[in-house]
C-alpha cells in the first residue's frame, strides 16, 4: 500500500473513532447545549466520506459506507443513557455531509491529477 493511502486510511479510522466516541458518550458527560448540532453532523460525516474517498474507494462506496455508518451510530445511541437516537434530521445531516465530502474529495483528486499532468 502506498504511503499516502496508508496515511489516509489511518486518518479516516481515527476520524471514525472520534465520531463514535462523540456519538456514543452518555448524555450526562456532554455539554448541555452543543451549538450547531446539524452542522457538526454535516462536517463529521463529510470528513469521514472524504477520507474514505481518498483511501481509494469509489465515490459511491464512500458515500454509502459513510451513510450506513451514520445510521448505525444513530441507532446505537438508543442504548446510551441520556441520548436519543434515530433522529432523521441527524441522519439527513450525516448523509448530506457524506455527499459533500465525497464531492470535495473528487475535486481534490481531479485538481491533483491535472497538476501532475501539467508538470
pLDDT in tens, 75-110: 999 999 888 888 899 999 999 999 999 999 999 988
Does residue 11 fall inside a structural domain? yes
Does residue 83 fall inside a structural domain? yes
Backbone angles phi, psi at 90, to 5 degrees: -65, -40
Does residue 30 fall inside a structural domain? no
Torsion of CA 95, 96, 98, 101, to 10 degrees: 180
* Burial (CB count within 10 angstroms: exposed 0-12, middle 13-18, buried 19+), residue 50: buried
Q: Domain tally for the chain?
A: 1
Q: Is 119 helix (H, G, I), strand (E, B) or coil?
A: coil
Does residue 93 fall inside a structural domain? yes
**pLDDT tens per residue across span 33-47:** 667 889 999 999 999
Does residue 110 fall inside a structural domain? yes
pTM of the predicted protein model: 0.88
Does residue 31 fall inside a structural domain? no
Structural domain including 45 reads 3-23+37-118
Does residue 84 fall inside a structural domain? yes
Amino acid at each position: 500500500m502506498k504511503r499516502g493511502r496508508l496515511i489516509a486510511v489511518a486518518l479516516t479510522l481515527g476520524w471514525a473513532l472520534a465520531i463514535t466516541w462523540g456519538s456514543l458518550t452518555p448524555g450526562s458527560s456532554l455539554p448541555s447545549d452543543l451549538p450547531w448540532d446539524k452542522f457538526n453532523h454535516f462536517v463529521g460525516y463529510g470528513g469521514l466520506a472524504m477520507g474514505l474517498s481518498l483511501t481509494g474507494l469509489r465515490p459511491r462506496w464512500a458515500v454509502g459506507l459513510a451513510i450506513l455508518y451514520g445510521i448505525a451510530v444513530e441507532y446505537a445511541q438508543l442504548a446510551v443513557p441520556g441520548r436519543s437516537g434515530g433522529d432523521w434530521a441527524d441522519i439527513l445531516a450525516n448523509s448530506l455531509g457524506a455527499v459533500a465530502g465525497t464531492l470535495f474529495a473528487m475535486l481534490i483528486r481531479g485538481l491533483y491529477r491535472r497538476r501532475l499532468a501539467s508538470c
